[in-house]
Structure 1
Amino acid sequence: MKKMFQNMVRGISGVVFPNVCACCGLENTEHQRLLCSFCLQERFEDANPDNAPVSSDIILPEGVIAQHALWQFDKGGDLQDLLHLLKYEQLTGIGVDLGRELGVRIKKHSLLKQKLSFFPAVLLPVPLHYLKFRYRGFNQAFKISLGFQQVWNDLSICDIKSVVRDKNTRTQTGLSLKRRRQNLKNAFKVKKPAEIKDKLVVIIDDVFTTGATTFELAHTVLDSGAKEIVVLTVAQA
């Protein structure tokens, strides 16, 4: 009787409050997900269809073996809207969905699949300064990492207190590459080196632009004993 009532309530709520995709607005049949299969698999432009070591035209710094973005950033488009909903409207499930899709995509990248399958690795969401974390209430990079971990469930996520953002930097928007690097200099600190020592550290963020943030973080963890770095993001601007 109880189960029948629960099914009836679920059926009514599906009519009154239909489960729709946060991107296209159409009915979403994916249980407990905010994005439909079509939007995740077909809507956006692949940033690295050839599975090259980098999805941008940037030269990787020493110790960073690969940089991969899932999709090309579409300024003013659907992907930018999704990332805005994630960061500023607190639709954190979007981050999990995007991270899961990123994890599935890496399964098709021969170099990264091999590295993540056979080398000791740990996921490192780009840390937020504690003031920004307190204001926002969550770290979008951590939500993306949670989704990624659902696909690569043998990988752990760095404890939030292991690697921190010690410097509350101003926004990077509108800054030149030189100013971005100056803005981020010594921004991060490793407080528990044992978590990253001799491991492949997979840095995860939402958008890759110039690499200033992720490469500064990479430099910090390499100096603290990490073996190699991979940078993974949802979008590439």
Structure 2
Amino acid sequence: MLFKNFKEGVLEVLFPKVCTVCGLKLTSNENFVCNLCLNEKFEEASREGKTASSDIMLPEGISLQHALWNFDKGGHLQDLLHQLKYQRLIGVGEDLGRQLGKSLLANPFFTERIKNNKVGLLPVPLHKKKRRMRGYNQAFHIAKGVAEVINLPVIEQEAVIRNKNTSTQTGFSLEKRRKNISGAFQVQKYEAIENSVCIIIDDVFTTGATTFELASELKEAGCKEIMIATVAQA
């Protein structure tokens, strides 16, 4: 034990843990992003008293669209989300998820809607080929962070699957996005969805094409109410 503590101390001196955003040394209760950056570095997206943080009209069945921050193209947030998605820094996702969870708890509309209901967090599913290639689903790790804060279960990943391996939608028009994602999701375990409030979790909300398509499938499967929560909105 003494040797282990000594080894850890030496490693901490030689290779200190630093914030992924600002590069400053992290404290013992910080993980990948320091509290200063989490609380002050990014622009808040959600507006008090609003059921949508974007200006997009929500389809029937979706009661809330909540984003933590506004996307900063070419900025620190884009870099963080890129590291989460492509560089296997899943701990970043959990840090961001915890911050998203705190933001949701500060939204009175959200807290009111989850009272006395069966509620589950649903990460937007990845197609099995993409998940196998990447090794993980980034939305799942964001959902894990959210779950730590608001004490709600993450719906098992096989309950709803993505059965269409869609191409990236970056640069697509809204119409092309809708065609690209149409029919992409399938509910496999109805008992996980029926008569429940499902909170769809994702990294970025852009046009809503993906989450709205998923919400449509959930509604058909008997979901009682649907909310969308993302780290960023573009």
Confirm or deny a common fold (TM above 0.5).
yes
Determine if the alignment matches structure 1 residue 47 to structure 2 residue 19.
no
String of CA shifts for 1:137-196, please: whole Å, max 9, x gaps: 00000000000010122x211111110001011111111101110111110000111101
Partner Cα separation in structure 2 for residue 118 and residue 14 of structure 1? 46
Distance in structure 2 (CA, Å) of the matches to 1:117 and 1:80? 34
Partner of 1:96: 94
Partner Cα separation in structure 2 for residue 49 and residue 124 of structure 1 = 23
User: Which residue in the other structure is 1:177 paired with?
Assistant: 174
Residue 58 of structure 2 is matched in structure 1 by 60
CA offsets 1:40-70 (integer angstroms, 9 cap, x no match): 1110000014252100001000000000000
Alignment partner, residue 205 of structure 1:
202
Structure 1, 29-38 or 175-184: larger mean CA deviation: 29-38
Matches within 5 A, 1:191-230: 191-230=188-227
Counterpart-to-counterpart distance in 2, 1:92 and 1:116: 27
Instruction: Please name the residue that 1:187 is paired with.
Output: 184
Report the Cα distance in structure 2 between the residues aligned to 1:30 and 1:177, rounded to whole angstroms.
44
Q: Which amino acid in 2 is paired with 1:140?
A: Q
Aligned length: 234
- Secondary structure at 2:43 match in 1: coil
Deviation, structure 1 residue 30: 4.3
Q: Which runs of 5+ in 2 are unaligned?
A: none
**Structure 1: segments with no counterpart, 5+ residues:** none
Inter-partner Cα distance in structure 1 for 2:12 and 2:47: 37
Q: Which deviates further from its counterpart, 106-115 or 140-149?
A: 106-115
Identity %: 51
Cα contact 1:40–1:101 (8 A) shared by 2: yes
CA distance in structure 2 between the partners assigned to 1:184 and 1:30 by the alignment: 42
Give the counterpart letter for 1:60 in structure 2. L
- Matched residue SS, 2:120: strand
RMSD over aligned Cα, in angstroms?
Answer: 1.1
